[in-house]
Structure 1
């Protein structure tokens, strides 16, 4: 496995899986961490359904889903999919992903310019409006 993607909901996992497949990656989307993937995939996308969970439960779900895959050598690249409007348990889940993968650095890129979601000077914008002033707040 070259890359593991952890997403906190069905939409995010499928959208990410489709985008990676469009780029030519053999991608499988698992609707739960208990599913068994095939051995053909380059990229495995795991849906933890953790967005609405309390932060500690969400962190546990991410850790449990990711840690078995990080015991292999070489360890896969880890991509923790986050919501572009910061819904969910982003801090707890990124921390859990870093712990499970034994990584010391995470790059957070919360933007989808084609959907009007950008980050400017540390502020998340939706169609040019600060996130806290939108219906997503």
Structure 2
């Protein structure tokens, strides 16, 4: 497995899987962490359905879904899919993903320019308007 993607909802997991498949990656989307993957894929996308959970439960779900895949050598690249307008438990889930993968650095990029979602100077914009307005 070259890459593991952890998404907090059905839409995000499937959208990410489709985008990676369009680029030629053999991608498999698991609709829950309890599914058994085929192991033929280059990219495994796992839906934790954790967006609406309390932060501690969301973190546990991400850790449980990701940690078994990070015990292999070489460890896969980890992509923690986040909601571009920052819904969900982003901090708790990214921290859990870093802990599970034993990574020291996370790069957060929340943007889908084609959908009008951008980040400028640390602020999330939707169609040019700050999200917090």
Fold similarity call, TM over 0.5: yes
How far did residue 87 of structure 1 move?
0.1
CA distances 1:75-122 after superposition (whole Å, capped 9, x unpaired)? 000000000000000000000000000000000000000000001111
Distance in 1 (CA, whole Å) between partners of 2:31 and 2:113 is 27
Task: Give structure 1 regions of 4+ aligned residues with deviation exceeding 3 angstroms.
Answer: none
Offset from partner CA, 1:3-62 (integer Å, 9 cap, x none): 000000000000000000000000000000010111210000000000000000000000
Aligned residues: 132
Secondary structure at the aligned position of 2:109 is classed as coil
Q: Distance in 1 between matches of 2:35 and 2:3?
A: 17
For structure 1, the 5+ residue unaligned runs are 133-137
CA distance in 1, matches of 2:105, 2:39: 29
Q: CA RMSD in A?
A: 0.3
1:39 and 1:62 map into 2 onto residues whose CA distance is 20
Within 5 Å, give how 1:11-50 maps onto structure 2. 11-50=11-50
5+ residue gaps, structure 2? none
Q: Superposed, which structure 2 residues align to 1:1-137 within 5 Å?
A: 1-132=1-132
For residues 108 and 75 of structure 1, the distance between their equivalents in structure 2, rounded to whole angstroms, comes to 20
In 2: Cα distance, 1:122 partner to 1:33 partner = 32
Q: TM-score, normalising length from structure 2?
A: 0.99
Q: For 2:64 and 2:97, how far apart are their aligned partners in 1?
A: 9
After TM superposition, the score normalised by the length of structure 1 is 0.96
